[in-house]
Amino acid sequence: MEKILIVEDDKALSNGIALALKAEGYLFLQAHDLAEARKTLERQEISLVILDLNLPDGNGLTLLSEIKEKQETPVVILTANDLETEIVTGLELGADDYITKPFSLMVLRARINTQMRKMRRGGLQVYQAGKFYFSFSSMEFIKGNQRIELSKTEQKLLKLLVENRGLTLSRGELVDRIWTDGAQYVDENALSVTIKRLRDKLEDNSSAPRYIKTVYGIGYTWSDERIGGMQRGTHG
C-alpha cells in the first residue's frame, strides 16, 4: 500500500486530511515536527509527503531541501504562507505543488491523486535502504560510501527486482523485460550471468544472506529483510 506522510503540527487538521483521503486507499503516517518527520522518512517507504512549513522546530523548507537532495519523492506543500515570494521559493526548491490554507479537501484530494498518478507512470527512480542508495534517473549506485558501477543490463535487472521487492519474478519474465529489443533469442544463461555479476557487486561475501534471493524452480526476488529501515524515492 502506498504511504503518504503528513507533516503538520495541527493534529486535528492532520487527522482530518487522513480521514478525507482514506477512501483513496492510501496509508497515512503523521509527524508533527521536523524531527519526527525525519525519523519516519528514515524508517518507512514514503510515496508522497504533505508538508506544512510553519513547524515547532523549524521551517518545512529545510525538510523539503533534504528530501529533494536525496530522492524525488513528491512533496506537496500545504501552508498558510501565501506570499508570492514564499510560493516561488517552495517551487524552486523542488516542491511538486503548493497549496495555501484555507483549502478545499476536494481540491487537495485531486492534487494528491495527480501526483500519485505521475509517480506511478514514471516507475521507481530512487531506492534507499540501509547502506544502499540507488538512483535510476541519475544512474548513481552507492553501497555504503562506495560507488558501484553497473552495466545497463545490471541496472535494468536491479530496477525490476527492487520495484517488485518481496515478489518473485520468473526467469522468463526477467529475460523478456530486460532484453526487450526482440532482435534475437536470449539464452536464460545470460540472466544467470547477470544475476551473479550483480550479486558480486552488492553482496559482502558469498556466505552472507542474499539480497537477491533465488526461488528455486521459479526465479528471483529482492529481499529487504536484512537491510532494516528504508525509504523509497519517487517514481518519476
> Residue 173: what pLDDT?
86
| Strand partners of residue 79 | 100
Over residues 169-211, the pLDDT tens digits come to 899 888 888 876 444 456 678 899 999 999 999 987 655 557 8
Domain assignments of the chain as residue spans, ordered by start: 3-122, 126-232
Give which of 140, 90, 95, 139 is closest to 115, Cα–Cα: 95
Say which CATH topology domain 126-232 has: Arc Repressor Mutant, subunit A (1.10.10)
Over residues 128-168, the pLDDT tens digits come to 877 888 888 778 899 988 999 998 889 889 988 988 887 88
Over residues 169-180, the pLDDT tens digits come to 899 888 888 876
> Residue 70: what pLDDT?
78
Class for the domain spanning 3-122: alpha beta
Instruction: Report residue 72: phi and psi, to 5°.
Output: -120, 30
Mean pLDDT of 28-38: 96
Q: What order of strands is seen across the sheet that includes strand 169-170?
A: 169-170, 219-222, 212-215
The model's pTM is 0.56
> Residue 230: what pLDDT?
40
> Residue 14: what pLDDT?
96
Cell 561475501 sits on residue = 205
Same fold? 3-122, 126-232: no
